[in-house]
């Protein structure tokens, strides 16, 4: 009897272990197929000079890495990536949070405006890029026509054709596309904010900005960090909008690492070198993702 009782918990633990293993197997298989195998393959190609055709690519060791770190265009593209990450993260997050705070007290028609704000986020990036390309058209685009109509013709530009402003013009497009996602997520999070704390801050004389910063934001910080993580990581891998609108031009002014890797892979047939640049993108984005994810989890556990 004693033996049966002592064996009971052990049998239960083994059954739970088998069940846990069975439940994680699908995720494990997906991780192996879609992450580990491509990652190992990428490392292989980064050590060879592969043109996409040769059956026996030449082993070059760290040659691709040495070339990459000495390639000035890589650093230029990385600089554009950092500009994109900075403005492409702060812009939609700040604007989205501000709009969400303003709309959080509006109950009538909430479903409609949530759909309106979220709509750009579900549109294909290529479609957004094409439409905004029309908007930025120097002759027929309504942006220049509107500026001319309101007496600001001096501000007319060839928005996508001038190296000094092309990157920021494309950035505006990306911010427009992502802001709606931030608005909807922040609106959902604001529904969990304790109104008594907000009212107490109002009674103490805090203005709207102070209430948002010191009372509302700390209560939704895990969600806020999740949105920051998603927008920031997407900045490392940005490709479609820039490629469709400018293809990295003019004069490489909008070139980013993703486009530079694509050009090397499919224009110059330098698969090995392009894979090395792709690994650089991965290596840069993973630490940010891990750090922000850990911070988000810690704040969630602390009930921030």
Residue 4, pLDDT above cutoff 70: no
Domain ranges of the chain: 72-303
Q: From residue 214, give the alpha-carbon distance in Å to each of 94, 155, 226, 298.
A: 15, 39, 19, 19
- pLDDT score for 253: 94
- pLDDT score for 115: 86
Strand partners of residue 58: 49
- Residue % of the chain over a pLDDT of 70: 95
Average pLDDT over residues 104-112: 80
- pLDDT score for 165: 93
How far, in Å, CA of 2 to CA of 12, rounded?
16
Q: What is the pTM of this model?
A: 0.84
- pLDDT score for 69: 95
- pLDDT score for 7: 57
Q: What is the pLDDT of residues 46-95, one digit of tens each?
A: 999 998 888 888 999 999 999 999 999 999 999 999 999 999 999 999 99
- pLDDT score for 87: 94
How far, in Å, CA of 162 to CA of 145, rounded?
18
How far, in Å, CA of 133 to CA of 145, rounded?
14
Residue 304, pLDDT above cutoff 80: no
pLDDT band at 204 (very low <50, low <70, confident <90, very high): confident
- pLDDT score for 93: 94
Q: What is the pLDDT of residues 228-283, one digit of tens each?
A: 988 888 888 899 999 999 999 899 999 999 999 999 999 999 999 999 999 999 89
Per-residue b or e along 78-113, where b marks 16 or more CB atoms closer than 10 Å to that residue's CB: bebbeebbebbbebbbebbbbbbbebbeeeeeeeeb
Residue 8, pLDDT above cutoff 70: no
| SS3 state at 96 | helix
* Mean pLDDT of the residues in the chain: 88
102-106, 205-209, 268-272, 290-294 — most confident range: 268-272
How far, in Å, CA of 13 to CA of 290, rounded?
31
Residue 3, pLDDT above cutoff 60: no
Q: Considering the domain 72-303 in this protein, what is its CATH number? A: 1.10.3720.10
Residue 44, pLDDT above cutoff 90: yes
What is the full DSSP assignment across 44-87? HHHTEE--SS-SSPEE-TTHHHHHHHT-HHHHHHHHHHHHHHHH
Number of other residues whose CB lies within 10 A of the CB of residue 54: 12
Q: What is the pLDDT of residues 132-150, one digit of tens each?
A: 999 999 888 989 999 999 9
């Amino acid at each position: 009897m004693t033996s049966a009782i002592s064996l009971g918990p052990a049998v239960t633990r083994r059954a739970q272990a088998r069940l846990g293993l069975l439940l994680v197997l699908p995720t494990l298989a997906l991780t192996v197929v879609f992450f580990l195998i491509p990652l190992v393959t990428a490392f292989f190609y980064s050590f060879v000079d592969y043109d996409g055709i040769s059956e026996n690519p030449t082993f070059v060791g760290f040659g691709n890495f040495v070339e990459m770190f000495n390639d000035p265009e890589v650093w230029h593209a990385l600089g554009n990536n950092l500009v994109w990450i900075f403005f492409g993260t702060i812009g939609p997050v700040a604007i989205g949070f501000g709009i969400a705070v303003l709309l959080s007290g509006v109950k009538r028609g909430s479903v409609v405006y949530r759909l309106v704000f979220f709509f750009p986020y579900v549109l294909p990036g290529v479609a957004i890029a094409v439409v905004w390309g029309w908007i930025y058209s120097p002759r027929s685009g309504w942006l220049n026509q509107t500026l001319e109509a309101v007496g600001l013709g001096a501000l007319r530009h060839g928005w996508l054709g001038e190296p000094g402003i092309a990157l920021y013009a494309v950035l505006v497009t990306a911010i427009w596309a992502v802001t709606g996602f931030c608005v909807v997520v922040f609106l959902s999070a604001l529904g969990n904010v304790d109104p008594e704390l907000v009212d107490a801050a109002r009674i103490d004389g805090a203005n709207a900005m102070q209430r948002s910063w010191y009372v509302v934001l700390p209560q939704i910080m895990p969600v806020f960090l999740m949105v920051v993580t998603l927008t920031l990581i997407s900045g490392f891998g940005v490709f479609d909008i820039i490629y469709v609108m400018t293809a990295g031009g003019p004069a490489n002014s909008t070139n980013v690492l993703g486009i530079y890797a694509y050009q090397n892979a499919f224009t110059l047939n330098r698969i090995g070198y392009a894979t090395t640049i792709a690994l650089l993108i991965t290596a840069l984005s993973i630490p940010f993702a891990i750090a922000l994810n850990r911070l988000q989890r810690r704040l969630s556990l602390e009930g921030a």
